[in-house]
Amino acid sequence: MKARDGLLALGLEVFFPFERLTQRRKLRGGVFRIETVERPVFPNYLFVKTDAYMAAEDVVGVSHMVASRGRPLVVPEAVIGLLRAAADQTGMVSARDISKISFSFGGRIGDRFAFKKASPLNGLIGRISSIARLDDTGTISAWVEMFGGEREVVVPHSLVSLLSAAAAA
pLDDT per residue as tens digits for the range 12-28: 888 888 888 888 888 88
Q: Is 87 exposed, middle or buried (0-12, 13-18, 19+ CB in 10 A)?
A: buried
Range of the domain at 136: 112-168
Q: Kindly indicate the confidence band of residue 105, based on its pLDDT and cuts at 50, 70 and 90.
A: low
pLDDT average, residue stretch 135-164: 77
Is 144 domain-assigned?
Answer: yes
pLDDT tens digits for range 31-66: 888 888 888 888 888 888 877 777 788 889 888 888
* Assigned domain for 161 exists: yes
Does residue 122 sit in the same domain as residue 153?
yes
- Of residues 103 and 50, the one with the higher pLDDT is 50
The answer on 144 and 87 residing in a single domain is: no
Work out whether strand 67-68 and strand 47-49 pair parallel, antiparallel, or are unpaired. Answer: unpaired
The residue out of 53, 78, 99 marking a domain boundary is 99
In angstroms, the CA 26 to CA 145 distance is: 64
Last residue of a domain, one of 47, 67, 99: 99
- Judgement on whether residues 93 and 49 belong to the same structural domain of the protein: yes
Position 121 in a domain: yes
Domains in the chain: how many in total? 2
* Average pLDDT value over all residues in the chain: 78
Q: What per-residue confidence (pLDDT) applies to 96?
A: 58
Alpha helix ranges (H) inside 58-133 = 77-85, 95-99
Do residues 7 and 39 both lie within one domain? yes
For residues 12 and 49, the answer to whether their CB atoms sit within 8 Å is yes
Among 74, 99, 124, give the residue marking a domain's end.
99
Q: Is residue 124 part of a domain?
A: yes
Q: Is 135 found in the same domain as 69?
A: no
Is residue 41 situated within a structural domain? yes
Tell me the percentage of the chain whose pLDDT exceeds 90. Answer: 0
What is the pLDDT, as a whole number, of residue 132? Answer: 62
Phi then psi for residue 55, to 5 deg, are -65, -40
Domain membership flag for residue 106:
no
Q: Are residues 132 and 85 in the same domain?
A: no
pLDDT on residue 169: 44
CA distance 18 to 90: 9
CA dihedral in degrees (126, 132, 138, 144; nearest 10)?
-10
> Do the domain assignments include residue 95?
yes
Answer whether residue 104 is part of any domain.
Answer: no
Q: Where does 10-76 have alpha helices with state H?
A: 53-57
Q: What would the pLDDT profile of 108-135 be if each residue is shown by its tens digit?
A: 778 888 888 888 888 888 888 876 654 4
